[in-house]
Amino acid sequence: MQKERPTAIVAQSGLVFTRGPISAGKRAIVLLTLLVYQSTFTAKAESCPTTKDEISTDRPDVTNSSLVVPAGSLQIENGINSSARDGSRFVDGTNTRLRAGIANCLELLVDVPTYFANVRGPEGSGFSDVAPALKWQISPIPGKVDLSAVFGVALPTGSVRIAGPGAQPYLQFPWSWELHSGWGLSGMFTEFFRPSDPASKLITEATFVIEKRVTGRVSLFVEYVGDYPQNGSPAQLLNSGGLYRLTPTQQVDFHVAVGLNHNAPSYIVGIGYSVRFDELFSDKRSNVSVVPHH
């Protein structure tokens, strides 16, 4: 699950950690190197999702799925939010993320520009950036924890007031751990690099989620989101919501977030719909499915 895109998160709140003499960005790069090295021994194609698995989305929570889209599949995730911050109220949509399984355990994703409409207040309206990325599933690892590594960049195509200046690369590591009786833990560590922003060139984001699968189709979650800029005060959110799987390849969802300090949005309320189309890129054209499975 996941509801906010990287550019939308930075535009709305802007958060994250720095520790010690070594920057968080350098630590993230070291971590990525270690994961890539380990994955050459632990990653197996058969451990990644197939078309037999139900849809797993990067929404409605901020924490993205630790799983990739099955090879040959196209997943479209959409949403719309209403939020308030610093006396301004926004409606933003469609928060569309396109996810394509281009190989076993490998996904190409693109965040389509989202339009932020200021419906009340002094701040302006505009589009966020388009943001392509590659996602590689490195799982399972010891302890039955699923993990992925994502590298993307928000290209400077949107409004500077909404998305910030210049290209903004990011490194991201979503993880998940399935517990017993439908309970699960997940989280995500992200480093946003903003080389053209004189105020804060590095923003670290950390999330943590407790999720409960209530029925075969219904899941609920509670999530903490903390964004910590290299220079400046953090912003923190408490996010909660749920999803309902209409079919194994279709999902509707909702979420409600409240700010925990003055740097975060006062509230964010959103709904969404996601769908997966399987075997679009398969060589077996006779089995192509362009309609969601029922």
| Full DSSP string of 109-150 | EEEPPPEEEEEESSS--EE--BEEEEEEE---BTTTEEEEEE
Give the span between the Cα atoms of 102 and 170, in whole angstroms.
Answer: 21
pLDDT at 170 over 80: yes
pLDDT for res 176: 96
Taken as a whole, the chain contains a residue count of: 294
pLDDT for res 142: 62
Q: Are 202 and 195 in contact (CB under 8 A)?
A: no
> Which band of pLDDT confidence, cut at 50, 70 and 90, is reported for residue 220?
very high
pLDDT > 90 fraction of the chain, expressed in percent and rounded: 71
Give the span between the Cα atoms of 2 and 67, in whole angstroms.
Answer: 12
pLDDT at 10 over 70: no
Question: Cβ neighbours of residue 200 under 8 Å, at least 6 residues apart?
Answer: 14, 194, 229, 230, 231, 232
Question: Cβ neighbours of residue 143 under 8 Å, at least 6 residues apart?
Answer: 177
pLDDT, tens only, 61-112 = 999 999 999 999 999 999 999 999 988 999 999 999 999 999 999 999 999 9
Task: Give the global pTM.
Answer: 0.82
pLDDT, tens only, 116-145 = 999 988 778 999 999 999 999 997 766 678
> Which band of pLDDT confidence, cut at 50, 70 and 90, is reported for residue 283?
low
Give the span between the Cα atoms of 39 and 71, in whole angstroms.
Answer: 18
